Structure 1
Amino acid sequence: MGSIFHVICGVYIPPNQDLDIYTTFLNLLQYYFNNMPIIDKIYIAGDFNLPYIEWIDPSTQTYSLPCDTNNALTTTMSIFLRATHTRQYNYIKNNMGRILDLFISNDEACCCEPVLNPLVYIDCLHPPFHVRISWFRQRKTINSDPTLKYYYVDADYAIINENINSHDWLDILQGYPVNTACMVFYEKLNEIIKSNVPVRPAKSTNYPIWFNRPLIHIFKDKEKAWIKWKKYNSIAHYEEFSILRKRFKTLSKQCFNNYIAAIEDSLKQDVKKFWSFIKTTNKKSGIPSCMKYNGVVADEPEKICNLFAKFFGSVYEQSDKILDTVSSPFNDICNTVLSDYNITKDCIIVALKSLDISKGAGPDGIPPFFLKHTAESISTPLHILYNKSLQEGTVPNVWKLANVTPVYKSGNENIVSNYRPISLLSTLAKRVQVDAVYTDFCKAFDKLDQDILLQKLAFNGIRGNLLRWFSSYVKNRSQQVCINGFTSEVIKVTSGII
């Protein structure tokens, strides 16, 4: 089951055993469960031979509890169930009105049912039953923060572009330093977005990705019929359940095959659908709801984000060097000094129109889909901001913040150090980056000394405002860990390049 651990235990205890036998056995089980690092599901089944324990009538619930507290065996069993957070699910009594065969589990989705058509002769002391368990049930993960979501696909971009063009961006931005100008730009842009982009609650579902509405409807009807059959145990209710089950299986197979065919047909055009399907079949999407790092255990989304932030921040190294751009020597083969650079408006438009609209938004919340559909109009304020940034040799702080997503590598999924970070910058920040700078550095970019990098750039002819811009770009960067809408505290990046 990958990194999901199931414990399955078969039990047989002969009749008329002393209390010590049961106590020793249950204590050993409890010790084992409590000392395992991670246990997702526990299943214990077998003949315990406890005829004198009375179990609560399950007519109002799906599990049974021992109810005679004056009995020492009952007390021992009750303590075990509470200590291991398990329940006893078999309620089917034998011909003596007793329950000898127990099914104990911490899986709340368990259901015991009588066997209507047994394959072998029935032992009247041990009536057969079968159990429905959620064997492939996904482990608990961090649920998404139930916030509202902007649906940029449904926006009216004719009106949005008109609103953007109605602003005198030169008059609005030219009087501010680039950091302030960038904040003013986002303030104006977010006002336009709030007025023209539909906002709705984010959609979520627990159904498989290939389920459609008719199939979900049949599934719900089938579950209702199963509950009625279980409650009343009548032939009519069973037949109703059987018909719905058959109908559900047929339609489910049809929906699954249609979905697979659609993925195969669109594989070249949209590979994201394929990987979404792979994630659902692997049952490993999301971060577990309980994480550990350096002896600290976190089971709340914000605390888990902060654990990841602490771990990812630990790889950075603090530099005590001071950059001296004035006395930095030149490369002997370098005959060109580059100190200024300008970006044209046409260059910005081309870059925005070439954006991949399937990508998500960065820390500024502006997705590529919006920028691509407003390329002509939004290029005007961006042209001002980009060139102001280069002329001042300053990168706005909002463009130096990265969202970091933890990605599982290997090992125990509940250990923070078994994840690697994937950084996502704001799209507008990535558009102003220089394509590539080739140096002789190693691949460990998270430990790369930023001052050494800047010395190399100065050595190869990068000077003046442009060198100051590079220095501003790599210095005072920050990042925050984001998981399903929850974010960590912002941490400083003291080495490397995001």
Structure 2
Amino acid sequence: MREAIEKINAKPRTCDIIVTGDFNQGNIDWETNTVIPDHYASKAAAEKLLDLSVQYNMQQMVTEPTRGDSILDLVFTNNTNIVNHTKVEPGVGDHDMVSTVLNLVIKRPKQPRRRIYIRKKANEEKIRQKMGEYQKTFADLGDLTVQDKWNHLDKEIKRTVEENVPTKFDRKSRGRTRRKQRLYNKAKRSGQAKDWETYREYKKECRRALNKARWEYINNDLGSAAKEDPKAFWTFIKSLRKEDNGVADLKVDNKLLTDSKEKAEALNNQLCSVFTQEDKSHIPSLGESNITNIPNLVIHEEGVKKQLLKLKPNKAPGPDGIFPWMLRMMAEQLAPILTKLFQQSIDEGFLPTQWRQADICPIF
């Protein structure tokens, strides 16, 4: 516990700490922060716990007994302002239950800005050259684990693409939007007709610029996408529809469900019903298998290259952020690298963490 608190306190910014659990130290008077004499519990452990709470400015919040006449289940914090209240309620075992309500604000992580690559302007010759040179670097990684080798390759692929494929980043449009907001704030504060007129004129200018960018996208990108990427084309067509009714009403057991929560529960129950709940307590013995063991698997470079070239370039990337078109573009250079990596993964029986992750989106 001391080591964990020291690691938290070593961070550059102050952190609120909550420590809870059954400490089994009934020989401490938490009103006076002293050890009760002639008690069966360890005096040395009680003194260590008190010293710890004083050293790190941790206050114990439970004031009612949690088992018999003793306070065994404790809640420590270095910031009492985040604790709304703490109370002891009847539990299901020999200990009562400690209920603590905290005043916390969840800080949501900022999503990284999405990079939209302009594949038509990619320097494919430079990309293939860089990845061809990387083959020797990868071979020199030697005895590193599959995870470390994949991390190295992952960074190299992304770095090569970022250096040789431009992205759609309209700095002017974003600047216009920020300036429009500043003009609106100024007009709202002053209330003067002149400021409001300036804001309205600039708003019209922004609208004209956005419409121009929209039509450039439709004429230059969306026209070719009708054949190369039909999904993007039909996504745009769908966005023009005005209505969005969501999930239609469902009829379950002759009852029409219109409420969103009821429809969600009905769909969840249907999903759960298709899974078989088997009795695992009595698993029959199948005896010895008469099927021969699979021989050692050998990954061939030509097979890897063939699979890379079969990737659909317009598909979305997975959690690793590597697009299929990137792998397909570098298929010839990546094939020998991935062949060695796949073979090592099979031989060692280990998959890198990123290979076990996936983005799953339920579709109605």
Q: Same fold (TM over 0.5)?
A: no
TM-score, structure 1 as length reference: 0.33
Give the number of the structure whose residues are more often strand, by fraction. Answer: 1
TM-score, structure 2 as length reference: 0.42
Tell me: higher relative CO, structure 1 or 2? Use CA pairs within 8 A at least 6 residues apart.
1
